[in-house]
Structure 1
Amino acid sequence: MTDLSDLPAVLDPVVVTGVGTVLPGTRSVSEFWQHISRGRSQIGPLTRFDGPAETLPVHAAAEIHGFDHTAHLPDLDPSHARKYSREILVAMSALAQARADAGLGAGDIEPRRLSVVFSSSRGPLAWWQPVIRGEDPAAFDDKGAMFRGLPGSPASLSAIHTGAQGLVTTVSNACVGGHQAIGLALRELASGSSDAVLVGGHEFPILPEVAHCYRALGRGVLSAESADPTRAVRPYSADREGFALGEGSVVLCLERESTARARNARVYARILSHASLNEAGHPTTMDLTGKITAGLVVEALEAAGRAPEDVGYFCGHGTATRYNDLAESRALRALYPDRGPAGLPPISSNKPIYGHTFGLAGIINAAATALMLHHQRLAPTINLTTPDPECDHDHVAEGARDTSFDLAVSLSFAFGSQTSVLAMATARS
């Protein structure tokens, strides 16, 4: 757990000052907020690959179309850009956006105290696939092959482009990696080692090999919905059938609040604490009693000096798989044993909007939660018409909800029996 109670900077909270997004149908923080708050799904027909329906009945994905990095990286030398993969350019663009959204100018942070921490589950698999198949004979025609083939290149090249000389690294730990990248950033800032951290994720898993991996786990993991791709992902619903693959990059700018306020930066939210746990249990499922996750939430809240009774919203992992849905609902019931379903705090999932993005998912959740705290509006779980009887509680299914809340918790789960929790709060002047 990222318990900051023993670190000298704990009295100076960490805040989110910038958000950068390059996602399907989304090239700015305002578009991101409009899509998640209004429930506008960016999942559409799968076009990236074809496969026999009997062996790979996957028809929906959240794909990026028409991306042009020059809109975000106008000063990137074209000769350099030609050596970079699409994944690298998308991640660099999201980082440039986050820094600009934070109003973080070239002289605002000493380069040695500016860090970059990224997360990616599979790294440059989309580049390696045609190379390994022998379908890209020009793959090694220039020195850029070294950049394109390394999982850490998006972080390293983003750091070079933005002039960050602090900690630069990439976490790879399936779907909890995004949260854990934020945890590393919190420790950097709380210890005083960095004054700002650009923390993000990038994932490009829309490949037949990845689809086959999840189909091999059985029905109900990867959605085969074809009639309406925007309804392919239905978390907590009785008719759920799994998730759709999604791609892109999101980057947050994190700073200590004193640094942000000193330069009159706009603050979206505070990040209070992070807790991560390996159950050391089953490699592909999580504890289904809900008690382990509930205990981890309590740990994270106690580290922040808060309690479950203070939580006004949970941003769910929400994969639309049976085990994940049950684990989250049972965790809420374990946290609030004296409350009935109607008394549980609201929970919602953004995966019906952007699909499952694995190593990026925790960053998307943190960005969404920060904006909900900032706007005091809860984003809905769309596509939910008939809740699973075990998930029959408040999913904000009616649409965006204006409210007043101070504390939110983001949940993340991953293969390897990994669970992660992020506690976030409003940042009032």
Structure 2
Amino acid sequence: MSGELVKPYDGVVVTGIGTMLPNTTTVGDFWNNISGGHSQVGPLTRFEGAAHGLPVHAAAELNDFDHRPYLPELRASHAAKYTREILIAMSAVEQARRDAGLATGDLDPRRVSLIMSSSRGPFAWWQQVLSGAREDGFADKGAMFRGLPGCAASLAAIYTGTQGLVTTVSNACVGGHQAIGLALNEIRSGAADAVLVGGHEFPIVPEVAKCYHATGSGVMSTEQEDPRRAVRPYNRDREGFALGEGSVVLCLERESTARARGARVYAEVLSAKSLNEAAHATTMDLTGKVTGALVHELLEDAGRHPEEVDYYCGHGTATYYNDIAETRALRALYPSRDDGELPPLSSNKPIYGHTFGIAGIINAAATSLMIHHQAIAPTINFTDPDPECDHDHVVEGLRPARLDLAVSLSFAFGSQTAVLALGAAR
């Protein structure tokens, strides 16, 4: 089948999900936290904010990670050369493969690809080495693995026997959706039967916090009293996001291949679109018209229409520009509707914080599970609506709903927007 053009009606489906996030090492954990509104944002312990002149007190930290239950065949001598971050990403890849039920020999390994997204790669390791916190950083040849952004993907490919395209995208918060778009193209072009696509992000270091703090107030949350309330998207008293970390990976397959082996299907990936507005470098279009037009293009590619969308999974960073941009995009998409009639829009950033390069992957995983369970996960910490954003954010808790079509939104520095359409399995 190599090189054969895949027929348009042969869909691309999500058959596996791997999650290595704070207090989340199974798909069940992930769905429980997302659907139940259980925030994993807690006190910041990785560094002392005040010591760095930062009014930052909360983060979603993944602590006490042991890779051995997830990578039982990885030799200890090899693992010793890798970083914690690489091992977490490898574990998420392997978990996605297992969740999909893909066994060795099920597919030609040359027709399986692995695509990851990370905005900063091994920055945490470089920070420790260059600051002198780790004196053994260059003590062995493992330094070559530890310092390269793409090595998490490469080493995961070696572990899983993946021999197709292996690469890593680095494009801030839109990288996750763009990685899925690349995966979609790999399968639709006939180059691959399956793609393990995901990301890894470990930004909880003072230098990253300083970057965002330098952009001004209202970007990083200063919440100290109750870290679980640090991220409050669409709320009148929002004050920004908290940093989050981990790795999430999806297994995408050509639908005919998945059905032939009896795989469980969470959702279908219908289309992915990206746009560089080539406008302001640190804000998105605030009229809503540009994002609305991109969603129109996305849905047209999928053969669908905005009136058919049942749910929007927001970028939802709890920053002023992001929140109003999403609301205005919905208004542009539905000009004849009152705010109370707009489709539901919710955010998972209050659960896992802002994870940048994997934010779009988390959205895709969460939306796939919502479609699978036919229920919409809530936006927590929404207690006093910003009048500009006073519409349906699913505040009452998990909402049973008919979900046939959903759209995920992501925005990034650099004037970039990326959107993803997912649908119910046929």
Identity percentage of aligned residues: 72
User: Structure 1: how far apart are the matches of 2:7 and 2:156?
Assistant: 27
User: Structure 2: how far apart are the matches of 1:423 and 1:351?
Assistant: 19
Deviation at 1:51, TM superposition (A): 3.1
- Cα distance per residue 1:290-309 (max 9 Å; x no partner): 00000000000000000000
Deviation at 1:53, TM superposition (A): 6.6
TM-score (norm 1): 0.98
User: Structure 2: how far apart are the matches of 1:85 and 1:170?
Assistant: 17
2:141 aligned with 1:143: yes
User: Structure 2: how far apart are the matches of 1:95 and 1:281?
Assistant: 36
Q: Which of residues 267, 279, 290 is equivalent to 2:288? A: 290
Contact 2:49-2:57 at 8 Å conserved across structures: no
Q: Which amino acid aligns with 2:56?
A: V
Q: Which residue of 1 aligns with 2:400?
A: 402
CA RMSD of aligned residues (A): 1.0
Contact 1:301-1:307 at 8 Å conserved across structures: yes
Q: Which residue of 2 aligns with 1:174?
A: 172
- Cα distance per residue 1:200-236 (max 9 Å; x no partner): 0000000000000000011000001000000000000
Q: Which amino acid aligns with 1:74?
A: P
Contact 1:98-1:252 at 8 Å conserved across structures: yes
Contact 1:9-1:191 at 8 Å conserved across structures: no
| CA shift in 2, pair 1:150/1:53, >3 Å | closer
Q: Which amino acid aligns with 2:419?
A: V
Q: Which residue of 1 aligns with 2:53?
A: 55
User: Structure 2: how far apart are the matches of 1:57 and 1:14?
Assistant: 44
Q: Which residue of 2 aligns with 1:324?
A: 322
Q: Which of residues 112, 132, 135 is equivalent to 1:134? A: 132
Q: Which residue of 2 aligns with 1:308?
A: 306
Deviation at 1:138, TM superposition (A): 1.1
- Cα distance per residue 1:14-62 (max 9 Å; x no partner): 0000000000010000100000000000000000001327820100000
Q: Which residue of 2 aligns with 1:39?
A: 37
Contact 1:9-1:192 at 8 Å conserved across structures: no
Unaligned runs of 5+ in 2: none
SS of residue in 2 equivalent to 1:224 = coil
Contact 1:41-1:353 at 8 Å conserved across structures: yes
Stretches (4+) displaced over 4 A:
none
User: Structure 2: how far apart are the matches of 1:232 and 1:201?
Assistant: 24
Residues 339-418 of structure 1 correspond to what in structure 2 (within 5 A)?
Answer: 339-418=337-416
Contact 1:378-1:400 at 8 Å conserved across structures: yes
The answer to which of 309-318 and 138-147 deviates more is: 138-147
Deviation at 1:194, TM superposition (A): 0.5
Q: Which amino acid aligns with 1:240?
A: R
User: Structure 1: how far apart are the matches of 2:398 and 2:339?
Assistant: 20
TM-score (norm 2): 0.98
Q: Which residue of 2 aligns with 1:4?
A: none
Q: Which residue of 1 aligns with 2:78?
A: 80
Unaligned runs of 5+ in 1: 1-6
User: Structure 2: how far apart are the matches of 1:34 and 1:239?
Assistant: 27
The answer to which of 50-59 and 335-344 deviates more is: 50-59
Deviation at 1:119, TM superposition (A): 0.1
